Chain A
Amino acid sequence: MPDERSPAGAPGAQASRRRAALPPDVVASLRAAFEQEVRRRVPRLCRLQRDVPGRAVLVQAQRDAHSLASSAVVVGEAEAARCARALEGALEQCLLQPFAPLPPEVLAQAERLAGLLDAWLRR
């Protein structure tokens, strides 16, 4: 494997070319993107409460939970990230039995995640 020196040669040789990471405007844009993601994905998770979900709904819900978990980490919302990751794992089990009523604890997890993210939106 090649070493990890900069392409120009010696370590740090191009340090001056590197800009500071994650300036405030980037952080702000990340939060804006997360807000859009929350507004798009959370309503779909809330649909789990309504009917007995089929496979496609479960797959989408799991994808939503997965994305929200990773994105919440990026914006520093650790609790929401943990909740989303737990929901994602629970939905994985549900996928083995699509068209079965979701266990109450899964629905509660979805509701809790929606609540956490709703609170984030209001902040």
Chain B
Amino acid sequence: MTAPGADPAPVGVVVVDDSAVQRRFLRAAVEADADFCVVGEARNGREAVAMVGRLHPGAVLMDLDLPVMSGLEAIERIMSSSPTPILVYSAFVDRGNQVNALEALAAGAVDVLAKPGPADTGSLEEYAEALRRKLRVAARVRVITHPRGRLRSQGMTAPAPAAATGSRLSLRPSGPEPRDTGGSPVRLIAVGASTGGPQALLTLLGQLPADLEQAVLVVQHMADGFMGGLASWLDGLVPLPVCVGESGRRLTPGTVTLAPSRSNLLVQDDRLRILCVPPPAGQFHIPGIDVTFSSVALALRSRAIGVILTGMGRDGAAGLLAMRQQGALTLGQNEATSAVYGMPAAAHALAAVDRQLALADLAPAVLRALGRVPA
């Protein structure tokens, strides 16, 4: 207990950054104020979550671009389990990257501060003072369990999303026009499949209703020349119309679009324009799932749902991870119902899958995430 008139104990701060240089600088900057004391240093989001749960600091300084677990995911987890004032400092929350700042705040962070960049003219001491000023304010904010993290911990989607990662795709500069992601509904369901895929697609797509408001994009590994046939086959069996994508067009809500043979399909922007590009020499699986999922992660962030179905190899795992790191709900087919438990296993091993489900349960999970009642 603090004696009357004695200085209160300093506020414990956990510093999270994968760079030793940054951690050292932050420790020095924070501890230049005797009201603060750095009680722990974490190198990635996972360490941060564990450390905050163990040490119960008074505040957290969090970078966003972290390996293993992104800063945004760590924020969500901390705010759902050990609510703590978090001040984000990152190279990706400046004026050109307002979306990242908004996403960090939506995830539960109290405030954001851009790391000094190459073009900044201020001194380190000035930056350190700005950091302390923000930290002093942040440390006094009373935080509560954040709803987004709570929803995600229950395997449900949340209204606004975010990013981050190990993959760094979540945190790239997003261009001059900030995207409106706050509370936006899911726009796209992206599905990857390989060996055993057509049957799995039939089951999955067969449960999606004809009045679905989202576009569905399917990347199925398939030999050249068979994609049109697959589209025709599915089109006759599932409620939604099915077509093969064409470069330059947009994906259509309520329509299943198959990635064409002989190329990789990229989703270019949140207007769902697609671009089909020749695969690089040596690419084994064409069309590639990783490439498409990664583009979806960049273009739509959390406003997409990723599904990885049966298949040999590991294509799709990294792309699905990128989607998950952006805040998208990601689902994987389980081993028991997979014809070949290769791609879903690889995705699961990469921690790219939010939920692993039996094939028959995937579409209901998608519909529930969209706020619809499965038939």
**Are A and B genuine complex partners?**
yes
Please report the total number of A residues contacting B with Cβ < 8 Å: 50
Apart from A4-B137, A19-B32, A21-B29, what are 16 other A-B pairs with CB-CB below 8 Å? A14-B35, A19-B31, A21-B32, A22-B28, A30-B21, A34-B21, A36-B20, A52-B282, A66-B65, A71-B21, A73-B117, A74-B22, A97-B277, A98-B291, A99-B280, A99-B283
The stretch of A42-50, A55-63, A103-111, A113-121 in contact with B is A55-63
Query: Could you tell me the distance in whole angstroms from the C-beta of B63 to the nearest C-beta in chain A?
Result: 9
Query: Could you tell me the distance in whole angstroms from the C-beta of A27 to the nearest C-beta in chain B?
Result: 9
Asked if A123 is an interface residue, CB under 8 A from chain B, the answer is: no
The answer to whether B91 and A2 have CB atoms under 8 Å apart is no
Q: Which of the residues B28, B140, B141, B282 comes within 8 Å of A99, measured between beta carbons?
A: B282
Known contacts A2-B141, A21-B32; A63/B21 CB under 8 A: no
Chain B residue, CB-CB nearest to A97: B280
Interface residues of B toward A: which range?
A: 35 or more
B137 neighbours in A (Cβ, 8 Å): 1-4
Query: Could you tell me the distance in whole angstroms from the C-beta of B89 to the nearest C-beta in chain A?
Result: 10
A18 neighbours in B (Cβ, 8 Å): 32-34
Asked if B273 is an interface residue, CB under 8 A from chain A, the answer is: no
Complex Cα–Cα for A105 and B143 (A): 47
Asked if B236 is an interface residue, CB under 8 A from chain A, the answer is: no
Q: Which of the residues A8, A19, A22, A59 comes within 8 Å of B124, measured between beta carbons?
A: A22
Complex Cα–Cα for A82 and B120 (A): 11
The answer to whether B21 and A21 have CB atoms under 8 Å apart is no
The answer to whether B125 and A95 have CB atoms under 8 Å apart is no
B117 neighbours in A (Cβ, 8 Å): 69-70, 73, 81, 85
Chain B residue, CB-CB nearest to A99: B280
A96 neighbours in B (Cβ, 8 Å): 266, 291, 294-295
The answer to whether A69 and B118 have CB atoms under 8 Å apart is yes
The answer to whether A97 and B291 have CB atoms under 8 Å apart is yes
A26 neighbours in B (Cβ, 8 Å): 24-25, 28
Interchain residue pairs A-B with the least CB separation, the first 9: A100-B280, A81-B118, A71-B21, A17-B34, A82-B118, A26-B28, A21-B32, A33-B21, A33-B20
Chain A 65-81, CB-CB to B under 8 Å as 1, else 0, gives 01101111111101001
B173 neighbours in A (Cβ, 8 Å): 89
Asked if B367 is an interface residue, CB under 8 A from chain A, the answer is: no
Q: Which of the residues B32, B140, B166, B290 comes within 8 Å of A7, measured between beta carbons?
A: B140
A74 neighbours in B (Cβ, 8 Å): 21-22, 25, 116, 124
Asked if A20 is an interface residue, CB under 8 A from chain B, the answer is: yes
Complex Cα–Cα for A76 and B34 (A): 26
Complex Cα–Cα for A7 and B283 (A): 59
Known contacts A22-B125, A97-B277; A7/B24 CB under 8 A: no
Complex Cα–Cα for A82 and B117 (A): 8
Q: Which of the residues B7, B24, B172, B264 comes within 8 Å of A29, measured between beta carbons?
A: B24
Known contacts A1-B137, A7-B8, A85-B117; A37/B32 CB under 8 A: no
Complex Cα–Cα for A69 and B116 (A): 10
Question: Can you sample 30 A-B contacts with CB below 8 Å?
Answer: A3-B137, A6-B35, A6-B136, A7-B8, A7-B140, A18-B34, A21-B29, A30-B28, A33-B24, A52-B282, A55-B290, A59-B167, A63-B65, A66-B168, A67-B19, A70-B21, A71-B19, A73-B116, A74-B25, A74-B124, A81-B118, A82-B119, A85-B118, A89-B173, A95-B294, A96-B294, A97-B277, A97-B280, A98-B290, A99-B282
Asked if B213 is an interface residue, CB under 8 A from chain A, the answer is: no
Complex Cα–Cα for A14 and B294 (A): 50
B34 neighbours in A (Cβ, 8 Å): 14, 17-19
Query: Could you tell me the distance in whole angstroms from the C-beta of A93 to the nearest C-beta in chain B?
Result: 10
Query: Could you tell me the distance in whole angstroms from the C-beta of B355 to the nearest C-beta in chain A?
Result: 24
Asked if B47 is an interface residue, CB under 8 A from chain A, the answer is: no
B357 neighbours in A (Cβ, 8 Å): none
